[in-house]
Structure 1
Amino acid sequence: MNPKDPDPARNPYRSLGRGMAFVASLLMLGMFYLYFQNSLQARNHPNRDLQIAPGAELVLKRSGDGHYVFPGTINGRPVSFLLDTGATLVSVPAHLAEELGLEAGAYQQSITANGTVVTRTTRIGALAFGPFVLRNVPASLNPGMAGDQMLLGMSVLKHLEFTQRGDTLRLRPLAGE
């Protein structure tokens, strides 16, 4: 076996070189994937690890799609909130009601961005995010919401002062609450 043998069928070093080049290419693609995956996660979910500022203030960064999305809990169970100043109540996907310990109440009509929907009233025993904990929060169970994200509406936001500058939103408790 001569490495300079012109007959490729008899030269094992040539196929070994191609195999190593293929493996190196796969490793490079994997490294690019991990790098860009982390970059996308940071851009699309900048609040996944909430930073709580001194004085019970919560600072949120806008995600890549222009929304403020952040983790919290409903009745002690982890959830993802999307801040929605256009929502009157906290809106919970109806398929999560049992998992979150929520009881469906009276039927009501809710006007959403997707049109009018029949929802059910409910009350959230404990809703928490960052330094904030609210109890007995009015909410609705929306059967039209397919995902796992909760809309954090004005039934919560009315208890907070919020200021937006650029891509940063600061939430603070209202004076006297």
Structure 2
Amino acid sequence: MKRSRPHSPFGKPMLFLAWLSMLALLYLYFDDKLERQHNPNLNPMIQGQELVLQQNRQGHYLVVGTINGQEVTLMLDTGATTTSIPAHLGPALGLKAGYPFPVSTANGSITVYRTTVETLTIGPLTLYNLEASLNPGQEDDTVLLGMNALRHLELVQRGQTLTIRK
């Protein structure tokens, strides 16, 4: 005759907590991995006055920078004439909407609003009094860093690496 041991009242809750903990750790691991694929430059390499960026899986260069001291995600966009900031970020960045003007985008024509960024910083590089536009058509939080900013910087691309210096 086989004897059965008494079951602990903590067995099932502990097993549930173990599974929950494992799922939480897997979520954190893969969330970080996906974020690094989207933006591999969360901790960009800084060499003196140079910034070295890696392309993401889509071939874009993203980097965390600041506008007027507030952290933003910047995407370098050589196809954009002017730096374009999602309009919903304007108040948090201390930006005021100026006069409206039409622009042609990949998604068609849209009216944007002129603004001036006092300081824009990417790693060791800072640009001052940069003209930009507040774009009500941009729904995400990514700032498109256009040629009006990039023309002040030297860009050297080799393979999937971009070196930026002033």
TM-score (norm 1): 0.81
Q: Aligned AA for 2:129?
A: N
1:30 alignment counterpart: 24
Question: Aligned residue for 1:66?
Answer: 59
Deviation readout 1:47-88 (Å, 9 max, x if unpaired): 11232113x111011123332111111112211111111110
- Cα deviation code 1:88-114 (max 9, x no counterpart): 011011122222122222221111111
Are 1:151 and 2:144 matched, yes or no? yes
The amino acid that maps onto 1:167 is: Q
Equivalent in 111, 117, 132 of residue 104 of structure 2: 111
Is there any run of 5+ residues in structure 1 with no aligned partner, and where? 6-10
The residue type paired with residue 29 of structure 2 is Y
Q: Which amino acid aligns with 2:25?
A: M
Paired with 1:50 and 1:69, the residues of 2 have a C-alpha distance of 10
CA distance in 2 between partners of 1:50 and 1:42 (Å)? 11
Q: Which residue of 1 aligns with 2:81?
A: 88
Choose 1 or 2 for highest CA Rg: 1
Distance 1:106 1:91 in 2: 15
Query: Aligned letter for 2:143?
Result: M
Flag the 1:104–1:17 CA change in 2: closer, same or farther, 3 A: closer
Q: Distance in 2 between matches of 1:76 and 1:20?
A: 46
Unaligned runs of 5+ in 2: none
Match of 2:131 in 1: 138
Query: Who is 1:8 aligned against?
Result: none
What residue identity is the alignment partner of 1:42? R
- Structure 1: 4+ residue segments shifted above 4 A: 14-23
Q: Which amino acid aligns with 2:100?
A: Y
Ranked by relative contact order (alpha carbons within 8 Å, sequence separation 6 or more), the top structure is: 2
How many residue pairs were aligned? Answer: 166
Secondary structure of 1:136's counterpart equals: strand
Q: 1:158 to 1:3 in 2, by over 3 A?
A: farther
**Residue 53 of structure 1, aligned match among 47, 52, 55:** 47
